[in-house]
Structures are given as structure tokens and as C-alpha cells.
């Protein structure tokens, strides 16, 4: 198993559904009703024909160059992250994706004729990626982020198809989805798509560099970064007007990638590149939670693509004045201890061994907590999850490693530590309702 994606307890929930993430079960009901209304309106339009099955193509029928390109694109699209079960074969699906609406299981993307996509033609695959329609004609749940994949060029989709069709077929049926009614009724999805599926190519901005435009294409399309970093409305659609304003991912808060990004130091294209490539930026912190698998994928794609992504994202974050030169990281140790004495004590015994002055991590150039974005974010969720679940080295099993404290600290203690850390290492206002947020984060962590 060595080097495989290891289902660490703390990393268990790192990929779950992209659908309606972040909604509480009670709001889920409203969302369901809303979708029902939209869907009834659209029902007549919902029917799609099946695309005829083809004989399973021979792997040798795909040019090696196309397969190799597809391999890279599949990494950029993170296909294997959702389509691999815990401890299972890559791309063979059956990964449980928890949503407030129930549990979805990802499909088998290997060319197995019975349980995978062996009988799918390239056209069927393209339609699934662009329109969210299965070969059989059924609507797919937007857990498959076709609202992004729809922007991918046919040539790229064909390359991914070639890559998938040359994998070893794995016979593995995905378990049946367990969704709350009426969402099990797929034609409803037609309504959802009317509102949220905006087809067409990513526009090219001639005023920007080729690199930037390549980044835009990757980020808006295959990379589907907005899937987590853009807030969603009640029906689970991305709020286009607030693109990259921060969203929710598997119980973590995906920070804003616009000017409201909370980082203490500016995200330059170089800093972003280092972060996306290595999982850590000395000026910002380490990739944690669902971001781990993303940087793991990016570690093996061509450097130029990661640079392009970094350039595009950095441009979206531009506009905030950080001050120059960048201020030294804050450390209001005494003042913070006065305001949060319990948190100070807990921090000294639980956290200072790594994060305090004179600790080994500090001698190794790891970011001071004064630079870590999670502590500066308006939303404490990710900071809380990092404490509860810990952090596993995202790339090659080597890198930042932090234990989870879920079993050693109570909700109140996590709240106390985090309130103290925020006061000590940032100039941001106190978080409110921390203990409730910890309780909620703990519950979401407990989901499959």
C-alpha cells in the first residue's frame, strides 16, 4: 500500500460531494422544494436519448501521445480523487460522497464493460462531461462538476477519454445512491441545469498573457476550483456574481480567492506556484483537508500548467493592499494570554511544541501562525478542522504533519485555543460563537 492514498482517519472525508455542500439538513429541504419547482417547469425538456453502446475499444486504438496528454488532464481534473474508493482501485469509483441530501457513490471510470464505461463512445463521454447526461440518457448529479467541465475543449475531453479507456478494467459496481426524496428522481436535474449549466468556451482575454489565458481555461474548466471556492446558493448552484468569494468543501471552509482573501502576505504567482506544487507556502501555510489531494495531483502535472493556474488565481486575488514591505508576522503573546488565559495554557501544552518560538518547525522555515491564512479568515471552520483532524503531508507522504486533537480536546477547549491563537497571531476581530462552530465542524467530520 505504500505511497498510496492512505485513508488517514483525519483525512477521511477529504473528498465528498460537490453537490449542495455546506447546507444544513433543514435548509436542504428548502433547496429540494426549490429544485422541484424548477424541475417541473423543465421536465418536458429533460428527456435525452441514449447513445448507442460501442464494442469496448482496444487500448491500442488510442495514440500514445493522446493517452499521455489525457493522463495529465485527468490529474488536472482530479478525476481519481472522487472516483477512487478508500483503499480501492484508482478510477474504479464507488467512493461515498456525503451530501446533506444523502450519500452519492461515484461511478466506475475504468473501461469495464459491465460496471464501467467500456461501452461508452467518445461522444457519450463528451456529453457526460459537458451536459451531465449519462450514456443511457439519465441526468447526472452535479457532484460531477459538469458546470465546469462543460468549458473543456473536445480535444481535451477526447484525450481524457483515451486515457480512461486504456486503464485496466476493474469490475466494481457502485452502491446505489441514498438520497432523500424527491432528489432520487433524476429528471429534476434538468431544472437545475437550466439555471446553473452555462455552456461554452472560457472566453479568451486578448489583453492578458497566454499563460493567464491558459490558467483561466484550466481553473474555470477542468480544475473546477470554483466548485469549492465559490459560494453556492440555496439550490446548490455557484453564485456567479460572487465567484471565488470563498465556499465550503467537506466541512472545511475554502478560502476566498478574490481580493477578500485573508492572507497576511500577498499571494504572488510564485508563492501560489510553490504552494500548489509542494503543498506548503512559507508565507501562507500548508494545504490541509480537501486541498491535500488537489496539490497532490498538481505535483505531477507539467510545471507550465501549474504556473498558469497560479498566474490566473493570483490575478483574481489582486487588489488588496497588503502594505510594503510585507509586515512581520504578529505575535501578541502577552495581550492574548491576558484575554484568553485558558487558551494560552492549552496552547502552551498542545501547540507550542511545533508553533511556539524556539520550536523545531520554526527553525525549519515553516510558516509562523502569524502568516497562516486559516487563522485570519472570517470563517473559523478550516482552522477548527485542522485542529480536530490534523494535517497529513499532502505530497508523497512527506511534509507538514499535524496530529488531530478531536479526541483530546473538548469543543470548549478547541474554541479556547483558537480564540487565543487568533488574538495572538492576527489583528482580526474575535470570532463569535466559536464553540457552536466547533460542535458543527466535529459533526461534519463524522460524516462518511
Partner 1 sequence: MTIRINVNGAEHVVDAEPDTPLLYVLRGDLRLNGAKYGCGLGQCGACTVQLDGKAIFSCVTPLAAVGTRKVRTIEGLGSVDRMNALQSAFAAEQAAQCGYCSAGMIMRAQALLDAIPQPDEAQIRRHMQTNLCRCGTHMRILRAVLRAAGLPVDGHSA
Partner 2 sequence: MATRREALVGGGLLLAFSFASRGLGQLVGGGEGGAAPKALRPDLPGSLKNRPELDAWIRIAPDGAATVFSGKAELGQGIRTALLQVAAEELDLSPATITLITADTARTPDEGLTAGSHSMQDGGTALANAGANVRFLLIQAAARQWKLPPESLTTSGDGHVMAPDGRRLGYGPLAAALSLHIEAVPDAPRRDPAHYRTLGRDLPRVDIPAKLTGGAAYVQDLRFPGMLHARLVRGPSYGTRLKAPNLEAARAMPGVVAVIQKGDFAAVVALKEWQAIKAMRVAQASDYVRTLPPLPVTDGPHRLQSLPSREIVVLDTRDDERPATRTIRASYSRPWYSHGSIGPSCAVALASDGELTLWSHSQGVFDMHRAVAELVGLPAKKVRCIHIPSAGCYGQNGADDVTAEAALIAMELPGRPIRLQWMREQEFGWEPCGCGMVTKVEASIGPDKRIAHWTYEVWSNSHNNRPVMAGGYAVAQQVVPPLLMQEPKPIPMPEGDGDRNANPLYVFPNMDVRYHFVPEMPLRVSALRSLGAHLNIFSLESMLDELALTGGVDPLAFRLAHMQDERARAVMIEATRRFDWAHRPRGDGRRGCGMAFARYKNIGAYCALAMEIEVERETGAIMVHRVQAAVDAGQPASPDGIRNQVEGGIIQSLSWAIKEAVSYDDSKRTSFDWGSYPILRFLDMPGSIDVHVMDRPGQPFLGAGETAQGPTSAALANAIADATGARLRDMPLTPEKVKAAIGLAG
Give CA separation, 375 vs 263, 407, 436, 444, in Å.
9, 22, 17, 20
Give, for 168, the enclosing helix (H) or strand (E). Answer: none
Residues 203 and 291 sit within 8 Å (Cβ to Cβ)? no
C-alpha cell at 296: 497532490
Here the cell at position 335 is: 495581550
Task: Give the integer Cα–Cα distance in Å for 246 and 183.
Answer: 26
Q: What does 171 interact with, of partner 2, partner 1, none (CB < 5 to 8 A by kind)?
A: none
Residue 87 interacting with partner 1 (CB under 8 A): yes
Q: Please, which of residues 363-402 interact with partner 2 by CB under 8 A?
A: 363-364, 393, 396-401
Q: Does residue 300 interact with partner 2 by CB under 8 A?
A: yes
Give the one entry of partner 2, partner 1, none that residue 2 binds, where binding means its C-beta sits below a cut-off of 5 to 8 angstroms depending on kind.
partner 2
Q: Judged by CB, which is closer to partner 1: 9, or 63?
A: 9
Sole window of 42-50, 146-154, 156-164, 404-412 interacting with partner 1 (rule: CB under 8 A): 404-412
Task: Tell whether residue 360 is a contact of partner 2 (CB under 8 A).
Answer: yes
Instruction: Give, in order, the Cα–Cα distances in Å from 156 to each of 60, 70, 71, 245, 311.
Output: 19, 7, 10, 28, 21
Q: Which residues pair with 353 in a beta bridge?
A: none
> Concatenated DSSP letters for 330-366?
P--HHHHHHH-HHHHHHHHHHTHHHHSTT-HHHHTTP
Classify burial at 109, counting beta carbons within 10 Å of its beta carbon; exposed 0-12, middle 13-18, buried 19 or more. Answer: buried
Residue 144 C-beta: closest distance to partner 2, Å: 19
From partner 2, partner 1, none, which one binds at residue 75 (CB under 5 to 8 Å depending on kind)?
Answer: partner 2
Residue 80 in contact with partner 2, rule: CB under 8 A: yes
- Choice from 13, 51, 402, 441 touching partner 1 (CB under 8 A): 402
Scanning residues 316 to 355, which ones bind partner 1 (CB under 8 A)? 342, 345-346, 348-351, 353-354
Residues 90 to 109 in contact with partner 2, rule: CB under 8 A: 90-91
**How many other β-carbons are positioned within 10 Å of the β-carbon of residue 25?**
10
Interaction partner, residue 396 (partner 2, partner 1, none; CB < 5-8 Å by kind): partner 2
What's the order of all strands across the beta sheet hosting 178-179? 96-99, 102-105, 178-179
Give the interface with partner 1 as residue ranges (CB under 8 A).
Answer: 6-9, 87, 342, 345-346, 348-351, 353-354, 360, 390, 401-403, 405, 407-410, 413
Give the interface with partner 2 as residue ranges (CB under 8 A).
Answer: 1-7, 64, 67-68, 70-72, 75, 80, 89-91, 163, 166-168, 300, 348, 352, 356-364, 393, 396-401
Amino acid at each position: 500500500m505504500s505511497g498510496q492514498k492512505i485513508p488517514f482517519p483525519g483525512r477521511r472525508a477529504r473528498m465528498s460531494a460537490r453537490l449542495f455542500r455546506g447546507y444544513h439538513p433543514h435548509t436542504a429541504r428548502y433547496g429540494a422544494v426549490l429544485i422541484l419547482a424548477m424541475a417541473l417547469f423543465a421536465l418536458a425538456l429533460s428527456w435525452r436519448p441514449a447513445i448507442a453502446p460501442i464494442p469496448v475499444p482496444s487500448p491500442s486504438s488510442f495514440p500514445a501521445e493522446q493517452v499521455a496528454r489525457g493522463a495529465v488532464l485527468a490529474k488536472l481534473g482530479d478525476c481519481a480523487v472522487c472516483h477512487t474508493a478508500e483503499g480501492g482501485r484508482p478510477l474504479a469509483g464507488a467512493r461515498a460522497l456525503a451530501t446533506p441530501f444523502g450519500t452519492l457513490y461515484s461511478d466506475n471510470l475504468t473501461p469495464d464493460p459491465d460496471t464501467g464505461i467500456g461501452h461508452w463512445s467518445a461522444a457519450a463521454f463528451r456529453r457526460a462531461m459537458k451536459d451531465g447526461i449519462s450514456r443511457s440518457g439519465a441526468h447526472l448529479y452535479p457532484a460531477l462538476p459538469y458546470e465546469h467541465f462543460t468549458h473543456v475543449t473536445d480535444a481535451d475531453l477526447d484525450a481524457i477519454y483515451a486515457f480512461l479507456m486504456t486503464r485496466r478494467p476493474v469490475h466494481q459496481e457502485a452502491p446505489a445512491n441514498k438520497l432523500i426524496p424527491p432528489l432520487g428522481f433524476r429528471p429534476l436535474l434538468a431544472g437545475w441545469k437550466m439555471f446553473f449549466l452555462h455552456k461554452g468556451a472560457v472566453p479568451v482575454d486578448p489583453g492578458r498573457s497566454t499563460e493567464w489565458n491558459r490558467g483561466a481555461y484550466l481553473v474555470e474548466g477542468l480544475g473546477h476550483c470554483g466548485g469549492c471556492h465559490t459560494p453556492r446558493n440555496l439550490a446548490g448552484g455557484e453564485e456567479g456574481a460572487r465567484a471565488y468569494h470563498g465556499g465550503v468543501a467537506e466541512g472545511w471552509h475554502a478560502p476566498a480567492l478574490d481580493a477578500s482573501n485573508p492572507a497576511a502576505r500577498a499571494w504572488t504567482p510564485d508563492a501560489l506556484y510553490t504552494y500548489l506544487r509542494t503543498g506548503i507556502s512559507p508565507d501562507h501555510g500548508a494545504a490541509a483537508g480537501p486541498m491535500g489531494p488537489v496539490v497532490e495531483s498538481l505535483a505531477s502535472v507539467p510545471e507550465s500548467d501549474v504556473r498558469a493556474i497560479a498566474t490566473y488565481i493570483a490575478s483574481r486575488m489582486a487588489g488588496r493592499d497588503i502594505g510594503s514591505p510585507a509586515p512581520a508576522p504578529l505575535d501578541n503573546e502577552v495581550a492574548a494570554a491576558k484575554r484568553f488565559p485558558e487558551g494560552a495554557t492549552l496552547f502552551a501544552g498542545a501547540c507550542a511544541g511545533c508553533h511556539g518560538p524556539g520550536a523545531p518547525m520554526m527553525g525549519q522555515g515553516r510558516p509562523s501562525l502569524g502568516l497562516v491564512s486559516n487563522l485570519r479568515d472570517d470563517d473559523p471552520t478550516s482552522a477548527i478542522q485542522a485542529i480536530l483532524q490534523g494535517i497529513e503531508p499532502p505530497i508523497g507522504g512527506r511534509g507538514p504533519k499535524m496530529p488531530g486533537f478531536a479526541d483530546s480536546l473538548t469543543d470548549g477547549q478547541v474554541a479556547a485555543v483558537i480564540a487565543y491563537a487568533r488574538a495572538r497571531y492576527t489583528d482580526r476581530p474575535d470570532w463569535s460563537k466559536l464553540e457552536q462552530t466547533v460542535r458543527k465542524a466535529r459533526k461534519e467530520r463524522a460524516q462518511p
